Amino acid sequence: MVIVDDAGDGSAIATAAILRSDGVAAEALEGGFAAWLAGGWPTVSLAHLPPRHDDGRTWWVTRARPKVDRIACPWLIRRFVDPDARFLFVAPGEVLTVAAQKQAEPFDVADQRVFWSHRDERCTFDVMVEAFGLDGHEPLVRLAAIVRGADTDQLDLVPEAAGLLAISLGLSRIHSDDHAQLEAGMPIYDALYRWCRDAQGEKHNWSSHQPARGKVSA
């Protein structure tokens, strides 16, 4: 766990120490939230966050048999908005019914009443990046172009779009269970995000690279 306070020199340090005494791996974020902002790291706008259920989680519903957008959007939500978000996959004609019955937020549905869906040339992932205030975070903007290219069949938009489409179609053939496919897709987007964030300038060579040790990496 990473504990955050305003400046990194107050309650976060004590809280992290208490957690470690209980056997929890915990550290305080150096410099706190002020350092996070100064470093240009993303913050999330909650203006469009759906209400939480009694279980403390946001619930979302979309069409079954996901390919690109319906894996990319849950990844974005779980990694940047609500790590415990629940996702329901149903037949296309049942999305709005289930949304109303279970107060789940519908997304990636071809219906003008749905906020989270394609707009012009943009896919649902683009809409979420913007609506959650994450469009100032350049790695996510780069990733959005890859997702858009793969999801809207604009494979010439960026070179990586064709690769993401191929991987997405392969995952959909491997997994008959939508939730298993979502879990398998999460590390794919983790890797793409890290490439967008800090590996674009690296070329394939004989060198080996490992994640940095001994510090918290955002």
Query: Sign of dihedral through CA atoms 91, 93, 95, 100?
Result: negative
Whether the CB-CB separation of 137 and 42 falls below 8 Å is answered with: yes
Provide the pLDDT for residue 101.
97
Compute the distance between CA of residue 80 and CA of residue 193 in angstroms, rounded to an integer: 12
Domain ranges of the chain: 2-38, 59-198
The owner of tokens 């690279």 is 209
The owner of tokens 């037949």 is 91
Whether the CB-CB separation of 62 and 107 falls below 8 Å is answered with: yes
Nearest Cα residue to 104 out of 156, 63, 160, 161: 63
Of residues 47 and 165, more confidently modeled: 165
Provide the pLDDT for residue 91.
97
Tens of pLDDT along 5-21? 998 888 899 999 999 99
CA trace torsion 89, 97, 121, 174 (10° rounding): 20
Whole-model pTM?
0.87
Compute the distance between CA of residue 138 and CA of residue 32 in angstroms, rounded to an integer: 22
Whether the CB-CB separation of 127 and 117 falls below 8 Å is answered with: yes
Write out the H or E segment, with its range, that includes residue 210: none
**Residue 122: strand, helix, or coil:** strand
Q: How many CB atoms lie within 10 A of CB 188?
A: 16
Tens of pLDDT along 93-138? 999 999 999 999 999 998 888 999 999 999 999 999 999 999 999 9
Compute the distance between CA of residue 75 and CA of residue 93 in angstroms, rounded to an integer: 24
Instruction: Kindly give the interhelix angle for 124-131 and 69-76, rounded to the nearest 10 degrees.
Output: 20
Residue 59 pLDDT exceeds 80: yes
Whether the CB-CB separation of 143 and 192 falls below 8 Å is answered with: yes
**Exposure class string for 52-66: b at 16+ Cβ within 10 A, else e:** eeeeeebbbbbbeeb
At 215, the pLDDT band (50, 70, 90 cuts) reads very low
